[in-house]
Amino acid sequence: MSNFKKLFYTLIFILIIEIILILVSHHKQEKFKTIPTDKTNIAILIDINSNNIDIYKNKKIIKSYNKKPSAPPLISNLKIINKGNYSSGLQIDL
């Protein structure tokens, strides 16, 4: 019976440690949550047929990427980025 009590208390101890770790990690996620402060609109227009990428900020074009027809498509260079539950986006290697 003594071994059973040791095992039981060990499992309770591990459960308490896991609960503490979950609470601490959740608190850190909430602490670093970012909230947008301005109303800047950014859009990326990808035209696969003509192999162009245009980046717009507040309805004005700020950057345009055009590749030659013989180059590989720009869409093949896109990577999806996912950082936790709060931000996600695309990374373009040009």
pLDDT of residue 45: 74
- pLDDT in single tens digits along all 94 residues of the chain: 688 888 888 999 999 988 888 877 765 555 555 555 566 677 777 776 666 777 777 777 787 777 665 655 555 555 544 444 444 455 554 4
pLDDT of residue 59: 75
Domain residue ranges in the chain = 1-32, 42-92
Rg value, the chain, Cα? 25
Structure-block tokens of residue 50: 């003509």
**CB of 73 within 8 A of CB of 65?**
no
